[in-house]
Structure 1
């Protein structure tokens, strides 16, 4: 995991300040209505590195996206007194939105200079940016295409049992950009639901997680886990691609 402007993102800096950032995440999200001015709608922009040749595996890219979104939320700069705190809280306490874009070559390099955190998983790279109003997106990000490129579904095999698993509802046939936003929501929800000590351990592993597709039979078992309180689910607002209220991703904690 890296921040292009400052180098490697370290493990939790200390228990007290990490606990404060986790407590804010665990409070949930504002869910207030959108502002009258559409330019003031808050969103977290994300960028997926998808080179034209030798593109990454879809599952690894989604895992990188999920980790990068959570890393921004729990970064010291998003915490009390941090330089990112006002922008982060303005977003978190309103209606949560994420927008995933794609980049390659010089565009990817330029995006790395915008405030945010980059994560690499098995050669796949994604960067989540500090949230802000959609009317004030940095031009290096604004110019990046939101749709138009997708990746084939891959078969990565069984997930590491020591990692959380984010199960994507395969029946919804989401694009890679839509799925990236949804797994970003899922990593945040899961971290907020877990005890702070568990999330600290997760942070030491750079929020590494596994992303897998769930077929209808698996999804039925997973929804039972959600009902039993052993997993958390993302229910989409339905702005793009899927119907409002659709359950898009179910996050299952790591086995301990």
Structure 2
């Protein structure tokens, strides 16, 4: 699954807002009626879900951001605080890494980094994603890992919780617990990255609870 984050060259966007927007976009696509059995996206989503649920995060600005809106997917805008741009993220219907549509293929993957200051603005969200304090990640990697955690939470939920989350706009709060809390607390969802990028081997990156 490709994720594209809008970058504003003039106004900064916070990393935590990008992570929350990415997580929401992933779940919104999975829950979209077009992804359900009988929908035009279902076969691609089901095939991807049965294999390795890899996600790649790219960035775009200006016309390049406008161009990718024509490709099948779901865009979520996550508000930021005063002085920062909102985080807009589009999740695309899963497809092979190659060949990609030109509008996606020319967007950069590596070095995706956003402003790291501040905490989440989200209060009383049904789902909380916790980020490991033991590892460092780029903003792009963090967005992908939060997307993984949100997806696994959606798959693990019962129908009542899913409906409540849908009614709440799939809002998510991303938090960074301290090392003691991380080491001593278990959550229903744990994401272990395979270690193909940024990490030297399998590494737990995020957890989700609701």
TM-score normalised by structure 2 residue count: 0.91
Equivalent residue for 1:160, pick from 123, 137, 159: 123
Alignment equivalent of 2:186, drawn from 210, 219, 225: 225
Between the aligned partners of 1:60 and 1:156, the Cα distance in structure 2 is: 9
The CA deviation string for residues 179-204 of structure 1, in whole angstroms up to 9 with x for no partner, is 11111110011111121111111112
Does 1:81 find its partner at 2:81?
no
1:184 corresponds to 2:185:
no
Q: Which residue of 1 aligns with 2:93?
A: 130
Q: Is the 8 A contact 1:59 1:210 kept in 2?
A: no
CA contact (8 A) 2:125 2:173 kept: no
TM-score of the pair, normalised by structure 1? 0.76
Aligned length: 204
Give the deviation of 1:217 after TM superposition.
2.2
Report the equivalent of 2:65. Answer: 108
CA drift of 1:214 comes to 2.8
Asked which structure has the greater CA Rg, the reply is 1
| Alpha-carbon offset, residue 109 of structure 1 | 0.8
**Mapping 1:37-56, distance limit 5 Å:** 44-56=1-13
Structure 2 segments unaligned to the other structure (5+ residues): 80-85
Q: Which runs of 4+ in 1 moved over 6 A?
A: none
CA shift in 2, pair 1:134/1:157, >3 Å? closer
Q: Is the 8 A contact 2:128 2:172 kept in 1?
A: yes
Q: Using the alignment, how far apart are the partners of 1:235 and 1:74 within structure 2?
A: 23
Equivalences for residues 211-250 of structure 1 within 5 A: 211-221=174-184, 224-226=185-187, 231-250=188-207
